[in-house]
Structure 1
Amino acid sequence: MFDSNISAFPLHRRRKLVEGIARILESKNGEDANAFWRNTAKQILVQLSESGISPRLAEQEVGTLLHAVLSNIAIRSASTLA
């Protein structure tokens, strides 16, 4: 199998996606949060794969998305404390 030349609009730039995942993660703790993220990541990986995105690129996209989600949570937490 070969890598595809298809690229997706970066997931970490999809504001509604990032904010939606962040809100849900904020409402969960411990294993519930981990399970939600793992399930979400798997679903996104499947969607990207079905769209023709290479596995390597799909994994990078999901990793970058996670960083954006965590950053969004941190920014909102900081603004709440201010």
Structure 2
Amino acid sequence: MGESNIIAFPLHRRRKLVEGIARVLESKNGEDANAFWRSTVKAILVQLSESGIGPGLAEQEIGMLLRSVLRDIATRSAKLAR
């Protein structure tokens, strides 16, 4: 059986996911924030793997998700600073 190409809706475009993660991270500091992120990533990687997404693409998705989460946090912080 050959490899199949699966196209999933990108994680970084799932607004509720991005905003939800960003809000939790904003409420945590230091190791608590790191532990939450690692736990979240682990769960997402399992879901992606079960969906047939290869490790390389899954890592790219996680990287783009992280950038979107950080952008969301920065945007919200900038709005609060005004």
Question: TM-score, normalised on structure 1?
Answer: 0.94
User: Matched residues, percent identical?
Assistant: 75
Summarize the alignment of residues 48-63 of structure 1 with structure 2, pairs less than 5 Å apart.
Answer: 48-63=48-63
CA distance in structure 1 between the partners assigned to 2:6 and 2:67 by the alignment: 23
SS at match of 2:7: coil
SS at match of 1:5: coil
2:20 corresponds to which letter in structure 1? G
CA distance in structure 2 between the partners assigned to 1:47 and 1:66 by the alignment: 17
Q: How many pairs were matched up? A: 81
Map of 1:75 onto structure 2: 75
Question: TM-score, normalised on structure 2?
Answer: 0.94
Distance change (3 Å), C-alpha of 1:3 and 1:63? farther
1:6 matched to 2:17? no
Map of 1:33 onto structure 2: 33
Q: CA RMSD in A?
A: 1.2
Gaps of 5+ in 1: none
Residue 78 of structure 1: CA displacement? Answer: 0.3
- C-alpha distance after superposition, 1:41-72 (max 9, x if no partner): 01000000000011100110011000000000
CA distance in structure 2 between the partners assigned to 1:77 and 1:25 by the alignment: 13
